[in-house]
Amino acid sequence: MAEEKRYVEVLLPLKLKRTLTYRLPDGWTAAPGAWVQVPLRGHTALGVVTGICGSAPAGVPLSTIGEVTALVDKPGVGVAETAFWQDIADYYLCTPGEVFKAAYNAGLQRAVLQPDKPAGPKKPRRKAAPTDDFSLKPLSDAQAAALDRIGKGFSAGKPVLLHGVTGSGKTELYLHLAAERLRQGRDVLYLVPEIAVSKQLQQRLAAVFGDRLLLYHSQATVPQRYRVIDTLRRDPTPRIVLGTRSAVFLPLRNLGLVVVDEEHDRSYKQDDMAPRYNGRDAALMLAARHGADVVLGSATPSCESLYNVQTRKFAQVELPQRFFGGDDPVVEVIDTARERRLHNMEGSFSRKLLKEMASVLDAGLQVMVFRSRRAYAPVVQCGACGETVHCPNCHVALSYHRFNNQLSCHYCGYHRPYTLRCPSCGEVALVELGAGTERIEEELQAAFPGRRIARFDADTTQSRLAQERMIRDFAAGDIDILVGTQMITKGFDFERLAMVVLVSADSLFAVPDFRSDERASQLIRQLQGRSGRRGQQSRIVIQTAQPDHPVIRQLLHPDARPAAGLLAERRQFNYPPYVRMMAVTVKDKFEGRLWNVSRLVREAAEAVGIADIAGPVTPAVDMVAGEHIAQFWIKLPRTRTLAAAKRAFYERIEQIDSDFKGRTTIVIDVDPQ
């Protein structure tokens, strides 16, 4: 009797509801986790074996089952990895194949398929064995006490929220914790929100951990990222990995500690493609699967983490004093509405502020200026007919970038040359309104001729090298004034920085989102912490037309706990973290079909027992890239039925998507940020 064929279940990096069955050729063997190449729709695809069986699935014609075309001779994917992919898929309502694709994008898939290079002749070289003798700095009494309290939190089986003011020495605690885990033979994952932050930190970690340190982020090349993956699969040496959110998908086999620095940061959330995960929350899921400890650090903790402290899911440890001592930065608020009435403004700056900046610069110190909008002018308007110049594909105003004389859409990427002729009435009467970072830089160059002024935003730092060079120059004192967007708020340590300026703070409060006050408070306090980190007195100056705004009032009271008020407000109005939320976005090129599908989405939510549904509504930007947009906000109680309700809703949405054959896009964003 002929030997029975063997079949494998293969997971592919695609949006498929299930694994696909393939036949193994005679004499071939494959274990779960093995990489295989298989035929799919006339092409060859890379997949991972998730199961093996001796016969074809019941009811599946043998003629429809393809055959594995190749076994890839690379270390396979571990069971813990595929189980984690399933965890992410279940929580964020997507397929395991979509999570697989996030872990291994097209470039990394090609790297898996590349044969290992044959080892050529090498000169004999002694490689020093990894050492556990890490050169750590001694802790202060406050840090040592905090480290002890963190250990007690770990012993209680809880993640620890390390709430330490900026400059309190949280990083040194992370290093001591990491060194302890490495000595125990376990891996460490150290997450940061932005690539730009990682350079200074990388140098600090490398000085302590040497070759034990691996770097992983999206701006590294594919070969660099694949080398990290391959090293973790082949080399049992315990490692510390410094990375951004995607590092949660690395094959860490013996994870002992996860550090999530700046845990509140919005950059941890991926919202442009599935899985729309939060790196902080995914890290907690990963640590739970490995039995690893977690420390979440921030000077401005998220409401979600503070809620977890309140409900005793997290332990909290505080570091209320700066490591180098010194007072907190002085907060000064300038009422721009009043200054304009008194004719005391020069462009975007009050004359009083310009004098204070000059005094700081004359003392040989530095100034950082924050503006939340890039470009020269966020809006261009016709002085004759009053029309604002809009993107032809999106319902948004085009921004003017003077450096390349372009009008650009920051949503779809459309751009065209800028002329003064109005596209609506034909008059040569276009004027630029408002001030982005480019105009702010120009105004400062006029106000401080001879001073070295640089701009740190998405237009000037498109490459990692450009980011690193500008940060290095500012740290070295080669730049006097640094103008930037949110990118400059993230964890940098500048010894000579004595003043931080926030212009047009009102734009932070005008965002129509229940999180806007929380984000504004976090951002301002992060900016406040960038200066005065070596004991010298420093200040933050905030220009606003709303000096009585609650966020501003709290800043003027050092003992205020803004998060407490925010949590009370969230509870009163039934917002996260007291409920779970999903944002559902429907997009279609045809407005009629959009509203038809939106009606079905609401009916799907009601059919599975979801009661708290807001929508469909048109968002502030209701067309992007030629597609009309409708949106829902769905609240779910934090009960045991939460997961089942989410899954039932997702299955109905998938059916609607199938019925319309993908002509309408429906996006579910769990825990939107």
**Residues 635/611, Cβ–Cβ less than 8 Å:** no
Share of the chain above pLDDT 70, in %: 94
Higher pLDDT, 253 or 82: 82
pLDDT tier, 324 (very low <50, low <70, confident <90, very high otherwise): low
Report how far residue 244's alpha carbon sits from residue 195's, in angstroms, rounded to the nearest whole number.
7
How much is the pLDDT for 3?
Answer: 45
Bridge partner residues of 299 (DSSP):
none
Give the SS3 label for residue 565.
Answer: helix
Rounded mean pLDDT, 108-127: 75
Specify the amino acid at residue 61.
P
Which CATH code fits 579-670? 3.30.70.600
Give tens-digit pLDDT for 415-472: 999 999 999 999 999 999 999 999 999 999 999 999 999 998 888 887 777 888 888 8
Share of the chain above pLDDT 90, in %: 75
CB atoms within 10 A of CB 514: 15
How much is the pLDDT for 341?
Answer: 95
Q: CA–CA distance from 336 to each of 343, 348, 484, 545 (Å)?
A: 10, 9, 20, 5
How much is the pLDDT for 55?
Answer: 84
Whether the pLDDT of residue 509 is over 90: the answer is no
Give tens-digit pLDDT for 367-399: 999 998 999 999 999 999 999 999 999 999 999
Q: What letter would DSSP give residue 515?
A: T
Of 527-536, 603-612, 647-656, minimum mean pLDDT range: 527-536
Whether the pLDDT of residue 1 is over 50: the answer is no
Report how far residue 443's alpha carbon sits from residue 157's, in angstroms, rounded to the nearest whole number.
54
Whole-model pTM? 0.90
Give the SS3 label for residue 15.
Answer: coil
How much is the pLDDT for 486?
Answer: 81
How much is the pLDDT for 416?
Answer: 95
Tokens of 149: 């309290």
Which CATH code fits 330-376+435-568? 3.40.50.300
pLDDT tier, 151 (very low <50, low <70, confident <90, very high otherwise): very high
Q: Would you state the CATH architecture of domain 7-78+96-113?
A: 3-Layer(aba) Sandwich (3.40)
Domain residue ranges of the chain, discontinuous segments joined by +: 7-78+96-113, 141-319, 330-376+435-568, 579-670
Report how far residue 302's alpha carbon sits from residue 297's, in angstroms, rounded to the nearest whole number.
10
Instruction: Specify the CATH superfamily of domain 141-319.
Output: P-loop containing nucleotide triphosphate hydrolases (3.40.50.300)
Report how far residue 261's alpha carbon sits from residue 480's, in angstroms, rounded to the nearest whole number.
28
pLDDT tier, 401 (very low <50, low <70, confident <90, very high otherwise): very high
Instruction: Single out the residue of 408, 404, 371, 402 nearest to residue 389, CA to CA.
Output: 408
How much is the pLDDT for 471?
Answer: 85
**What residues contact 489, with CB distance under 8 A and at least 6 apart?**
370, 523, 526, 527, 530
Give tens-digit pLDDT for 615-667: 999 999 999 999 999 999 999 999 999 999 999 999 999 999 999 988 999 99
Give tens-digit pLDDT for 550-588: 889 888 876 666 677 889 999 999 999 999 999 999 999
pLDDT tier, 326 (very low <50, low <70, confident <90, very high otherwise): low
Across the chain, mean pLDDT equals 91
Give tens-digit pLDDT for 253-303: 899 999 999 999 999 999 989 999 999 999 999 999 999 999 999 999 999
Most confident of 2-11, 52-61, 91-100, 213-222: 91-100
Report how far residue 110's alpha carbon sits from residue 96's, in angstroms, rounded to the nearest whole number.
20
Report how far residue 332's alpha carbon sits from residue 353's, in angstroms, rounded to the nearest whole number.
10
**What residues contact 614, with CB distance under 8 A and at least 6 apart?**
632, 633, 634
Domain 7-78+96-113 matches domain 330-376+435-568 at the CATH topology level: no
